[in-house]
Structure 1
Amino acid sequence: MLYRLKEYKLLIICALTIYFLSMVFGIYFGKSIDGSTNEKIIMSSDPLDYLKNNIKAILVFIAGLLTFGISSIIQLTLNGMMLGVGIEGLTNRTTLLESFLYILPHGLFEIPAIILAGAIGLYPYKIIISLIKGQKIKVNFVNMIYIIGLIVSLLVLAAFVESYITPLVINFIE
């Protein structure tokens, strides 16, 4: 399956860069937001809730195929910033390690799915660059479908982990 990602290597690097620069900006921006609260974080116990939310977000990424990557760039930026603001907000109440433990269990699956979906949404840029270079345009739809299958699989795993494992980790921390 990993050989199917080779075609997307540069797009994955671009998506990763956008996402993590936005996360850093979110951490920095989050410092100026007074998000201090003593409220307990309420999490859903239904993995379908998480899966539905994540699938909706991923569809916006993949819509980048139709919006020349613009929706993917916006979604990568917003998701990265939200993660950064969330990390900053959590570090106001907990240690940095505990903050990462809130995110890490399901983030191990969800963040790669976000990056891969962002890479698919950025695919029009690969086509544009090929046109500029005068290269033949070759879109491997079978490859794209495999990667979308990988994304959905990662999101299913993330939903179950977020429903059943992340709450255990949070209860252990608190």
Structure 2
Amino acid sequence: MSETLKISHYLAISGIILIAGFAVGFGLSITEPAFGETLLTLFQEMIAGQIMGDDPPMLALQLFLNNLEACVVIFIGGAFFGFLSVFILMMNGVIIGAVLEIVRKEAGYIALIAAIVPHGIFELPAVIASGALGLMLGRSVKNELAGGSEASIEAWSLGGYFLKYIIPFVAIAAIIEAFITPAVLQMVT
């Protein structure tokens, strides 16, 4: 199997896991609004409350660091046979899906799209790719235990992909989220 085919396979799996999480969070928030409200409150206290008052350059830095941390944990979570990567992807999806349903309910679909699309076109692929790299790392750990090649060699290769693709996408997303997304939201709300 070629390297491109392997990566695309894992990207698809990672994307499906994240989308499944979105669907679960969105659905739970519809059927149990208190679930979504609780997650929104936690999100505001733990993440948004700490960074949203900052000026755009500082906000971009905080968003970059927060999202980079999430991507690193998703990637490194692959060392646990990929299970931690899957869990974190799913939980991120659930939280985002639940929060998005609350935003949709309060502000409508246009505001929801405006809140996600500008930076999401970079951030979501970075998260999905981090999950794919984590799953590939998990596969290499499993293969090493079965007598295959060393997982550390594969980890270095996967880390190179992370540096080359994930970090720039997370940086671009953070800049857009800090400088452009608020302006787009202001135009539609």
Q: TM-score, normalised by structure 2?
A: 0.76
Question: 1:150 corresponds to which residue?
Answer: 165
Runs of 4+ in structure 1 off by over 4 angstroms are: 128-132, 134-138
2:184 to 162, 169, 174: 169
Q: Which has the higher helix share?
A: 2
CA deviations 1:79-115 (Å, max 9, x no partner) are 1111211221011112213212111111111000000
CA deviations 1:8-57 (Å, max 9, x no partner) are 121111111110011001100111124399xxx87342211001101111
Letter in 1 for 2:123: E
Letter in 2 for 1:73: V
Alignment length, in residue pairs?
A: 168
Contact 1:5–1:147 (Cα < 8 Å) also in 2: no
Separation (CA, whole Å) in 2 of partners of 1:97 and 1:67: 39
Alignment CA distance shift 1:167-1:4 (3 Å): farther
Contact 2:60–2:175 (Cα < 8 Å) also in 1: yes
By how many angstroms is 1:153 displaced? 0.3
Letter in 1 for 2:92: N
- 74-83 or 144-153: bigger deviation: 144-153
Question: 2:130 corresponds to which residue?
Answer: 117
1:86 to 99, 102, 109: 99
In the TM superposition, what are the counterparts of 1:1-174 in structure 2 within 5 Å? 5-31=4-30, 32-34=32-34, 35=37, 43=52, 44=54, 45=56, 46-127=59-140, 137=149, 139=154, 141-142=156-157, 144-174=159-189
Give unpaired runs (5+ residues) of structure 1: none
Letter in 2 for 1:103: I
Separation (CA, whole Å) in 1 of partners of 2:140 and 2:157: 17
Letter in 2 for 1:97: I
By how many angstroms is 1:5 displaced? 4.5
What secondary structure, in the 3-state scheme, does the structure 2 residue paired with 1:122 have?
helix
By how many angstroms is 1:164 displaced? 0.1
Letter in 1 for 2:79: L
Identity %: 23
Separation (CA, whole Å) in 2 of partners of 1:65 and 1:28: 28
CA deviations 1:45-75 (Å, max 9, x no partner) are 2211001101111121111232211221111
